[in-house]
Structure 1
């Protein structure tokens, strides 16, 4: 940030110097142009400083909340693993029931075919 400020200051001075070179415009107009340029530069610098502070605050907040977010993800993973373990016997039983029903349905259809 220090080097940016130095560069900004040198750039502003160079712009001021160039704007004061012989110019067909009147001295008042040149002064007004320089004032507007410097005001714009000042506003841009202020916006940059504000944006930098906001970005720094957001980064700090993110870093502060990251451990809690990581723990929440781990908790969700553990809960999901526990849930999968708890429903496995029921899912296995359902699979067996579907298999038995499919077998019985096939036998029924085959029996009906034989009777026809």
Structure 2
């Protein structure tokens, strides 16, 4: 079983700057989703380009994930155009959820 959660709220990323996005996942009732035992992968995607981000699940029990990447990862990010942050989380029961956020590239 796979689910998709798509955000309408964009993230903003300055071109040629490091990526650091903390993500807190919560249930519809507002409680934190316990991600203990989960795995995750993330990428910043635009056009035919996909750049993998580093995923830290060090605060998984409180539903927090940290997504990071070096400045070189965003050097070709198109300013003023939409890209996507794609986060794929597989929980300890094997349920896969795709989370997608629009990303707007900005020039420094």
Taking structure 2 as the reference length, the TM-score comes to 0.21
Q: Which has the higher contact order (CA 8 A, sep 6+)?
A: 2
Higher relative strand content: 2
Higher helix share: 1
Which structure: larger Rg? 1
